[in-house]
Amino acid sequence: MPKQLPEDSVGIVQPQSFRWDAPITLQCGKSLPRYDLVYETYGQLNAARSNAVLVCHALSGNHHAAGYHSADDSKPGWWDTSIGPGKAIDTDRFFVVSLNNLGGCHGSTGPSTQNPETGKPYGPDFPIVTVKDWVISQKALMDFLGIKQWAAVVGGSLGGMQAMQWSIDFPDCVRNAVVIAAAPKLSAQNIAFNEIARKAILLDPDFHGGHFYEKNTYPKTGLILARMLGHITYLSDAAMREKFGRELRDGSISFDFDVEFQVESYLNYQGEVFSKNFDANTYLLMTRALDYFDPAADFNDDLAEALRQAKANFMIMSFTTDWRFSPERSEEIVTALLAAKKSVSYADIDCPQGHDSFLLDVPRYISMFRAYMNAIEVEEN
Amino acid sequence: MPKQLPEDSVGIVQPQSFRWDAPITLQCGKSLPRYDLVYETYGQLNAARSNAVLVCHALSGNHHAAGYHSADDSKPGWWDTSIGPGKAIDTDRFFVVSLNNLGGCHGSTGPSTQNPETGKPYGPDFPIVTVKDWVISQKALMDFLGIKQWAAVVGGSLGGMQAMQWSIDFPDCVRNAVVIAAAPKLSAQNIAFNEIARKAILLDPDFHGGHFYEKNTYPKTGLILARMLGHITYLSDAAMREKFGRELRDGSISFDFDVEFQVESYLNYQGEVFSKNFDANTYLLMTRALDYFDPAADFNDDLAEALRQAKANFMIMSFTTDWRFSPERSEEIVTALLAAKKSVSYADIDCPQGHDSFLLDVPRYISMFRAYMNAIEVEEN
């Protein structure tokens, strides 16, 4: 007997697919002959088509942001804490669109997709995609859905960067941009973490230069290491202490190199699970998109000048213990928005969970997020 | 023609070797039939043998702390900024002893040493060593040198932990303990970083379960990844920003996964160099010694109770931007020392370089360090 789904869930959802059946030239200069984007929607598009919200995913996210794929699903979508009836992104008011980005590995065209020119997976020949490319492909999906303007573009981390880029590249298409736990560009330390993760994948003998699909293998070790490393940066030192302390898995020290502390056990488990569900070439692409994100670069490194293009209202949120993209990085965005004379709200949420907070049910965060979203006027017809 | 050595250098130094020719049982319960420790000394032992300072090394350090091995040496020892005539550890006053710890890979008995029982390198059969084991083996060297009491035991990071352990385990043998950029025990986040570094080595196919010596290879990839990761934690975000910013090596984005940003290039270089000069089994041992360090564990997790054993005066130093072992961790030590009614000085040095500061010529740090050391009375005969 299928379980009872929570009342504030969007319920059982079905992924859909959108095909762009013409060549697209990417920022890197290379092109794809066509592409598919897999997406989900939650809530109803109103007659005025004025209540659509685009949700952009972060590094390892996908289109499945809310609800369940079946009644037997053990877990809902990755942002189910924030998307649903009465939630921060209230599906009683909004029509939510969530897609897997180009280059992804959950149904959208990416490195594991068959290259129509060779009949083999693209692998390492899949072109580098950037946040700007994603925005362009998301705009194609928007047009396909008959939406002229997003009530809001919303995202955390790399997702927040897409919301910023949308506001700059398509100012008339975004009424509100909600940018959570993001940064205007990566720091040298951020890039360094990405580089080690990539290196772990690239140097894994099972990577085979990215052509591992044909070898019926995958760079498991590289993916495990990349995910373990990523995970450290998602949690605050305090959150790790609270969650694991220095507790030993078996109560006493065993004097060897086996997994011994709870935190080791947790990271190893997270790494194992991730390695089975994520494509290594996609991981490389996503981290590079992060490295390259720098909307000010086209405007003489002046972020205010870049954001001057925007017509959206902005909501910027950060978390006090986030050391991946610290509050100071969000404040850089706020400062630039103020300099550009934009409408901006900013909340720095005091909570111990670090970067991951944007995915969690942190009461103060959710209530600020909800208040902002609820204030967005949705013209009813 | 050999170059002119700096005037404040200890000059050309020669490593020496000490053999303990009897079985030693380690904390893990395993024993070694005998062991060698390689060490260097700088300055002169006075007639009262009261001016000896023990320098303890950190994770990847060794006995060569100061001076040059030849006039052609491009670089002096790892702590040459602090050891020499007129320096913080003034070799005109002190007789400095610096050794490579048991389990090391620079001359002391360790995993790459031939196991007398098998005629092959110990490899993974080398027993786990702890900070307590190191202190015991350092005590044997002390006895051999005819020293009854150290004027000071001094170290940064893992070296500082050894200074703490000395003060607890051999209270009568330590007049001063100088503990720099250390922590009373590792946090879950610290352990997590170590675990990923170990995992990178353990999962490298060239590790061969630790028996890589016989295969004429070594886990180069694992060591590179471990070192790159370590290096991130040695530098502050600010130091990385100052050093590299987001500068591109070739001026423009190349849209690939090659080394592109200056910070990537730097880390890759550091990793490459390290992988050629460090033993993977030693790296595993050293990180585990860090994980296991917890002097309070034998005293009901009460650090003050542990430190109550000590008779030394303490100097604790930390650096504001050190996020590996933050000032808060040093303050835990200070608080415990105060609770145990010990003599303690504490300086938190405001500087941008992060954990690595303890190795650098940071003026305020060096002057505080020098002032403390100069105040140590050395009874002359």
N-term to C-term CA, chain B = 40
Short-list B257, B231, B269, B270, CA closest to B356: B231
Q: Looking at the complex, does the CB of residue A347 fall below 8 Å from at least one CB of chain B?
A: no
Q: For residues B314 and A379, give the distance between their C-alpha atoms in angstroms, rounded to a whole number.
A: 69
Segment 255-284 of chain A within 8 Å of chain B by CB? 255-257, 259-264, 267-268, 284
Interface-testing mutation among A196, A259, A262, with chain B (most B C-beta atoms within 10 A): A196
pLDDT above 80: residue A2: no
In the stretch 91-150 of chain B, residues with CB closer than 8 A to chain A read 127-128
The pLDDT, as a whole number, for residue B1 is 45
Q: Is A170 a residue whose pLDDT tops 90? A: yes
Give the distance from residue B122's alpha carbon to the nearest chain A alpha carbon, in angstroms.
Answer: 15
Buried b vs exposed e over B147-167: b needs ≥16 C-beta within 10 Å? beebbbbbbbbbbbbbbbbbb
> What does the angle CA B23 – CA B27 – CA B30 come to, to the nearest 5 degrees?
50
A63 in active site: no
CA distance A333 to A161: 11
Q: Compute the Cα dihedral for B290, B291, B293, B296 and give only its sign.
A: positive
| Structure-token pair, residue B241 | 């920003």
B335–chain A Cβ distance below 8 A for any pair: no
Percent of chain A with pLDDT over 70: 99
pLDDT beyond 50 at A106: yes
pLDDT digits (tens, 9 = 90+) for A23-49: 999 999 999 999 999 999 999 999 999
Query: Looking at residue B12, what DSSP letter applies?
Result: B
pLDDT tens track of chain B, all 381 residues?
456 899 999 999 999 999 999 999 999 999 999 999 999 999 999 999 999 999 999 999 999 999 999 999 999 999 999 999 999 999 999 999 999 999 999 999 999 999 999 999 999 999 999 999 999 999 999 999 999 999 999 999 999 999 999 999 999 999 999 999 999 999 999 999 999 999 999 999 999 999 999 999 999 999 999 999 999 999 999 899 988 988 888 888 999 999 899 999 999 999 999 999 999 999 999 999 999 999 999 999 999 999 999 999 999 999 999 999 999 999 999 999 999 999 999 999 999 999 999 999 999 999 999 999 999 999 765
The sign of the torsion formed by the CA atoms of A140, A144, A148, A149 equals negative
Whether A3 has a pLDDT exceeding 70, the answer reads no
Looking at beta carbons, which residues of chain A come within 8 Å of B229?
196, 229
- Residue pair A372/A312 in contact (Cβ under 8 Å)? The answer is no
Burial A138-169 (b: 16+ CB within 10 A, else e): bbbbbeebebeebbbbbbbbbbbbbbbbbbbb
* Chain B residue at shortest CA distance from A27: B255
Chain B interface mutation, best of A185, A187, A189, highest count of B Cβ atoms under 10 Å: A189
- Residue B39: the pLDDT is 98
CA distance linking residue A78 with residue A99, whole number of Å: 12
Angstrom distance (rounded) from CA A30 to CA B167: 64
Cross-chain Cβ contact A261/B291 below 8 Å: yes
What Rg, from alpha-carbon coordinates, does chain B have?
Answer: 21
State residue B2's pLDDT score: 55
State which amino acid sits at residue A337. L
Mean per-residue pLDDT, A150-176: 98
Is the Cβ of A375 closer than 8 Å to some Cβ of chain B?
no
B236: closest chain A residue by CA: A189
User: In angstroms, rounded to a whole number, what is the distance separating the alpha carbons of residues B128 and B133?
Assistant: 9
Q: Does A198 touch chain B (CB under 8 A)?
A: yes
CA-based R_g, chain A, Å: 21
Gap between the Cα atoms of A186 and A194, Å rounded: 10
Secondary structure letter of residue A89 according to DSSP: E
Tokens of A202: 């690239």
Q: What is the distance in angstroms between the Cα of B376 and the nearest Cα belonging to chain A?
A: 37
- Which of A130, A199, A356 best tests the B interface by mutation, with the highest count of B CBs <10 A? A199
* pLDDT tens track for A182-238: 999 999 999 999 999 999 999 999 999 999 999 999 999 999 999 999 999 999 998
User: Could you read off the pLDDT of A260-319 as tens digits, one per residue?
Assistant: 899 999 999 999 999 999 999 999 999 999 999 999 999 999 999 999 999 999 999 999
B183 and B233 in contact (C-beta within 8 Å)? no
- Residue A182 to residue A331: CA distance in whole angstroms: 10
What whole-number distance in Å separates Cα of residue A240 and Cα of residue B16?
Answer: 44
Question: Rounded CA gap, A149 and B332, in Å?
Answer: 54
Of A80, A204, A322, A356, catalytic = A322
Using CA atoms, how far apart are residues A313 and A311, in angstroms rounded to an integer?
A: 7
Using alpha carbons, select from A297, A293, A303, A306 the residue that is nearest to residue A335: A303
Give alpha helix (H) positions in B90-181.
Answer: 131-144, 158-169
Query: Between A and B, how many residue pairs show a Cβ–Cβ distance under 8 A?
Result: 145
Catalytically annotated residues of B: 157, 322, 355
Q: Identify whether the C-beta of residue B329 lies closer than 8 Å to the C-beta of residue B318.
A: yes
- Kindly list the distances between the CA atom of residue A173 and the CA atoms of A91, A136, A137, in Å, as whole numbers in the listed order: 20, 12, 14
B95 Cα to chain A: minimum distance (Å) = 35
Chain centroid offset of residue A170 CA? 20
Distance CA A178, CA A317 (A): 8
CB contact under 8 Å between A225 and B196, yes or no, is yes
